[in-house]
Amino acid sequence: MPGIAEVRSFNRVVTREIGALADRFLGRDRSLGASRLLFEIGPAGSEIRRLRARLGLDSGYASRLLRGLEAEGLIRSFASTSDARVRLVTLTPAGRKELAVLNRLSDEAAASLLNRLTGSQRTSLISAMHTVERLLLASAVRLHLENPRSRAAQSCIARYFEELAARFEAGFDPTLSIPVAAEELTPPRGCFILATLHGEPVGCGALRCHAACGEIKRMWVAPSARGLGIGRRILQRLEELARRRRIPLLRLETNKALSEAQALYRSSGYREVSPFNDEPYAHHWFQKRLRTRGR
């Protein structure tokens, strides 16, 4: 495959140069792990289990690092009021100050890198970095079948509904929309695809199967993860699942406010058709005929 050598060369160079930058904030008398933790806690505080998940830390190791920061007087920890097993940590004023210092050092390291370049080199570096970053994230996104009742699925659906409420002219009240029961999105009656980035849900999409057609529902991508082609990947996966079930036709409806969704559907081969249901929040109805040959 072309590109492998380029990727490897990139890896070598970047680990070396970025490593050199990262060294800068050693020199505070704190380990890299503790500094990363301080960054991850952030000004707003966080649950410990969330920190562990995001940094991929062993529970014992995380606990020790946190106790170290607590001994330094940088953080405070206390039990969550809603679930006393979960502990929360927040920065103390001293912790906020230290985080500000780390941020300043990081800024300076980045600036010193940029300073060694000419203006046009700087511009192209920044834009290329942005591209690499987005595409690396895109390649780290995983799709998997999920039970629509799971916590992750429910949180996606909730955020999806929130967004609909904010974007639809008339707001959005799920009870007025055509209902979709969880069982209808669970095999064998349908399926629910969850997209995750480092374990965090960043998008979803569902398929409800009828005798003669399938319906695409719950297509949503988190705002932070847009532009990575996740929506298209979810849609393709759902279509593949529909093909395996020998469903010949896919249908979906959408609101006029969701212009990027319409663009996705159109560019994925969906054609607008006359309304096939009386969904009160829909303005556009689409369908796509599937080739059910092959597996």
33 contacts 41 by C-beta, under 8 angstroms: no
Pick the piece of the chain touching a second copy (CB under 8 A) from 62-70, 128-136, 177-185, 277-285.
128-136
Could you check whether the bond before residue 2 is cis, i.e. omega within 30 degrees of 0?
no
Does 7 participate in binding a second copy (rule CB under 8 A)? Answer: yes
Site for a second copy in 93-122 (CB under 8 A): 106-107, 110-111, 113-118, 121-122
**What is the C-alpha separation between 100 and 106, in angstroms, rounded?**
10
Does 14 participate in binding a second copy (rule CB under 8 A)? Answer: yes
189 contacts 234 by C-beta, under 8 angstroms: no
Strands 249-254 and 214-221, bridge-based pairing:
parallel
Does 4 participate in binding a second copy (rule CB under 8 A)? Answer: yes
Does 72 participate in binding DNA (rule CB under 7 A)? Answer: no
Among 21, 24, 33, 177, binds DNA (CB under 7 A): 33
Does 75 participate in binding DNA (rule CB under 7 A)? Answer: no
Among 59, 124, 259, 277, binds a second copy (CB under 8 A): 124
Does 61 participate in binding DNA (rule CB under 7 A)? Answer: yes
Nearer to DNA, 87 or 134 (CB): 87
Among 33, 45, 174, 229, binds a second copy (CB under 8 A): 229
Nearer to a second copy, 6 or 83 (CB): 6
**To the nearest whole angstrom, how small is the minimum distance from the Cβ of residue 123 to a second copy?**
8
> Residue type for 148, please?
P
Nearer to a second copy, 8 or 210 (CB): 8
Among DNA, a second copy, none, the one that 293 touches (CB under a kind-dependent 5 to 8 A) is none
Nearer to DNA, 70 or 163 (CB): 70
Where do contacts with DNA occur on this chain (CB under 7 A)?
30-34, 47-49, 52, 57-64, 66-67, 77, 83-87
- Contact residues: a second copy, CB under 8 A: 1-4, 6-11, 13-18, 20-22, 106-107, 110-111, 113-118, 121-122, 124-133, 135-141, 198, 229
